[in-house]
Homo-oligomer: A and B are copies of this chain.
Amino acid sequence: MNNSEIKILIDKINAYDRIILFRHVRPDPDALGSQLGFKYALQKYFPNKAFYAVGSMTDNLSFIGEMDEVEDETFKGALAIVLDTANAPRIDDERYQLCSEMIKIDHHPPVDQYGILNIVNTDSSSTSEMIYEILLNIGFNTIEINTAIARCLYIGIVGDTGRFLFNNTSNRTMEIAADLLNYDINHTEMINQMSERDLKSIRFQGYVLQNFTFENGVGFIFISNEDLIKNEISSQEASLFVNTMADVKGIKAWAFAVQEEKEIRVRLRSKGTVINELASKYNGGGHPLASGASVYSLEELQTLKHELIQLVN
């Protein structure tokens, strides 16, 4: 971001009485943390304006804060600020279309540039990290950031860096986290709340660890309809366990296959070998080390698995 972008952002906020903050559907900690952290900060900075945070909440993240209930009328003529959302169809609450103007703030590679202003920094670990930098830039100093703001931004950074694990964690990310820990936030408790899972999910994790196969550096599991029923879990919930086998010593890549309604959805992950070309071959695609594919029979799934083994060896 640069100073002229920040200036436009402030000018736009100044021009409206109502500002509605959006983020993407199925929110993660960074979406919620950047949305609520920015809302709390703007409320302090512009005490005479009305700020709203909208979208549906995910149960296990409700500790981060609350969404506002907003009537259709309120959207009309308001400014929309959309956080952490690469493309307009993923904005939670379609009523963004009623707003007068939109501003995007995001760290994902842009899909749509849907805003009249698009503040995008793909080098930033998270949108929460960007919000911290924006607050410094618009004249907040560390005294003006309060605990409520700090905890939102901290949880967002923790979420998108895998708790300072992924290589998007820069020296600057850690400096910001260090500063946020100056506030009275119980980071241990927050992070524990984030990693809490219900008993059913914990049991399913155990099921995956007991049942995946491991052959020539490749991990593999297929979760059939029957397995889903037996574990009382949906295919969508099951897919969250794709990284369960990531810590096996010597693992080079893995395929996590789940029966869906009309297809077998195969999530492919790799620790080094590029696998998105293989994914493309099987009706999919994605990032070099994290892709998705679809197959339509157990035979095709076996072929995909063997190609993956050949690819990484």
Shortest C-beta distance, A192 to chain B (Å), equals 8
Shortest C-beta distance, A142 to chain B (Å), equals 11
A301 beta carbon closer than 8 Å to chain B = no
Identical chains bound together, number: 2
The secondary structure that dominates the A interface is helix
A202–B245 CB distance below 8 A:
yes
Residues of chain B lying within 8 A (CB to CB) of residue A174: 174-175, 177-178, 181
A68 beta carbon closer than 8 Å to chain B = no
B163–A195 CB distance below 8 A:
no
Known contacts A163-B164, A175-B175, A175-B178; is-contact A247 B188 (Cβ 8 Å): no
A248–B199 CB distance below 8 A:
yes
Residues of chain B lying within 8 A (CB to CB) of residue A198: 248-249
Shortest C-beta distance, A197 to chain B (Å), equals 5
Question: For residues 251 through 279 of chain A, which have their beta carbon under 8 Å from a beta carbon of chain B?
Answer: 271
A16 beta carbon closer than 8 Å to chain B = no
A210–B206 CB distance below 8 A:
yes
B181–A165 CB distance below 8 A:
no
Residues of chain B lying within 8 A (CB to CB) of residue A187: 164-165, 167, 169
Known contacts A206-B210, A210-B210; is-contact A247 B167 (Cβ 8 Å): no
Residues of chain B lying within 8 A (CB to CB) of residue A167: 186-188
B165–A197 CB distance below 8 A:
no
B165–A171 CB distance below 8 A:
no
- Give CA–CA (A173, B178) in the complex, Å: 8
Question: For residues 159 through 201 of chain A, which have their beta carbon under 8 Å from a beta carbon of chain B?
Answer: 163-167, 169-175, 177-179, 181-182, 186-188, 191-192, 195-199
